Amino acid sequence: MPAQAYPAAAEGGLSLPKATELIRSRIDRALASALAGLPHLALDLETAGADLSSCASFGQPKPLPPLERILTSHQLLHAAEGQMSREALSRAAEAEGLPVIHVAPERAASEAVVAAVARIGRSAGPPWAADQRRAAAAVWAALSRSALPAVERSDLDPVAAGVVQHGDGRAGHFGRRHGELRA
pLDDT in tens, 62-82: 889 999 999 999 999 989 998
Do residues 133 and 21 make contact, with C-beta atoms less than 8 angstroms apart?
no
pLDDT of 154: 43
60 CB burial (10 A radius; 0-12, 13-18, 19+) = exposed
pLDDT of 145: 62
pLDDT of 72: 93
Do residues 174 and 182 make contact, with C-beta atoms less than 8 angstroms apart?
yes
Amino acid letter, 81:
E
Band of pLDDT at residue 95, cut at 50, 70 and 90 = very high
Least confident piece of the model among 121-130, 131-140, 169-178: 169-178
- Crossing angle of the two packed helices 153-166 and 111-124, in degrees rounded to 10: 60
Over residues 36-41, the mean pLDDT reads 89
Name 181's bridge partners. 175
169 CB burial (10 A radius; 0-12, 13-18, 19+) = buried
Please say if the pLDDT value at position 48 is more than 80.
Answer: yes
pLDDT of 169: 39
